[in-house]
Structure 1
Amino acid sequence: MSDPVTASSDPAPDANCPPAAAPSSAGPTAPAAPTDPADAAPWRTVEALVGWLDRESALPKEQERLLRVLKLSEEVGEAAQAVIGATGQNPRKGRSHTWDDVHAELCDVIVTAMVALRTLTPEARQVFEGHLRRVAERVPGSEAP
């Protein structure tokens, strides 16, 4: 399992890193519905991760943005590898992973996507919550907040 947000093996960031501003290329977003303050905790962590990655990067901003989106492909591949290993579908390797490994890889995908989204727009939380509401509204019988 690799670091979910970087291609390097740098140590994990300090959770108290100040957030860094990122350029926004997104259009207008729907206003966010009132949420529980505890819901903001993951986004504070994402802010810290983005700030840390921004400080550590020597790449031009546009290249960094693209690579953070491309990092998702790597993480999804690792999740697929873990599923194959958990089900023993590679006869040469057998059961090389557990379902806990799959859970961890899926979490890496989620964190990497959150970091990529926050890299693209400072309104990442609102963009995500609005999108999630729209998805929920399409599900029969669901009540979107």
Structure 2
Amino acid sequence: MADEEVWKAIDDLHAWLDANKAVDGPEALLLRVLKLSEEVGEVAQAVIGATGQNPRKGTSHTWDDVRSELCDVVITALVALRTLTPDAREVFATHLAGVTERSLDGRTP
């Protein structure tokens, strides 16, 4: 999926969620951001399951499950960012460039 398609999908998901939200106002924004915590928890659950760390459940997940849950985190974060600003694409690109610059000390990967 090309960059343009990713952001179109994020815009579509944002619009769908807005059209189907149970609450309005500041609570809607807070709940959308809190959804990230839920998704991160699902990543943790999948890692625990993939490594068999819960003796009662054993190996209950795969690394494909972990990858899928990580994708859910990314999607949820991008939708939350889009909820905060219609310029989410530009905000993200600028922030990513700054993090890359700081992290790589000006080197290109």
TM-score, structure 1 as length reference: 0.70
Aligned: 1:112 with 2:76: yes
Deviation at 1:143, TM superposition (A): 2.6
Structure 2: runs of 5 or more not aligned: none
Deviation at 1:59, TM superposition (A): 1.3
- Aligned amino acid, residue 72 of structure 2: D
Distance in 2 (alpha carbons) for counterparts of 1:58 and 1:96: 33
TM norm structure 2: 0.93
Distance across 2 between alignment mates of 1:100 and 1:57: 30
Using the TM superposition, give the Cα deviation of residue 141 of structure 1 relative to its aligned residue in structure 2, in angstroms: 5.6
Residue of structure 2 equivalent to 1:50: 14
SS in 2 for 1:97: coil
Q: Is residue 77 from structure 1 mapped to residue 41 from structure 2 by the alignment?
A: yes
Q: Which residue of 2 aligns with 1:135?
A: 99
Aligned-partner Cα distance in 1 for 2:22–2:50: 38
Deviation at 1:134, TM superposition (A): 0.3
Deviations 1:111-139 (A, max 9, x none): 00000000010000100000000011012
Letter of the 2:105 counterpart:
P
* AA aligned opposite 1:142: R
* More moved, 100-109 vs 57-66: 57-66
Equivalent runs, 1:12-27 vs 2, <5 Å: none
Instruction: Name the CA shift for 1:61/1:40 in 2 (closer, same or farther; >3 Å).
Output: farther
User: 2:101 & 2:77 partners in 1: Cα distance?
Assistant: 22
The alignment yields a C-alpha RMSD, in angstroms, of 1.3
For 2:20 and 2:43, how far apart are their aligned partners in 1? 26
Q: Structure 1 stretches (4+) deviating beyond 3 angstroms? A: none
For 1:68, the equivalent position in structure 2 comes to 32
Distance, in Å, in 1 between the alignment partners of 2:108 and 2:99 is 11
**Residue-pair matches, total:** 107
Following superposition, the deviation at residue 142 of structure 1 comes to: 2.9
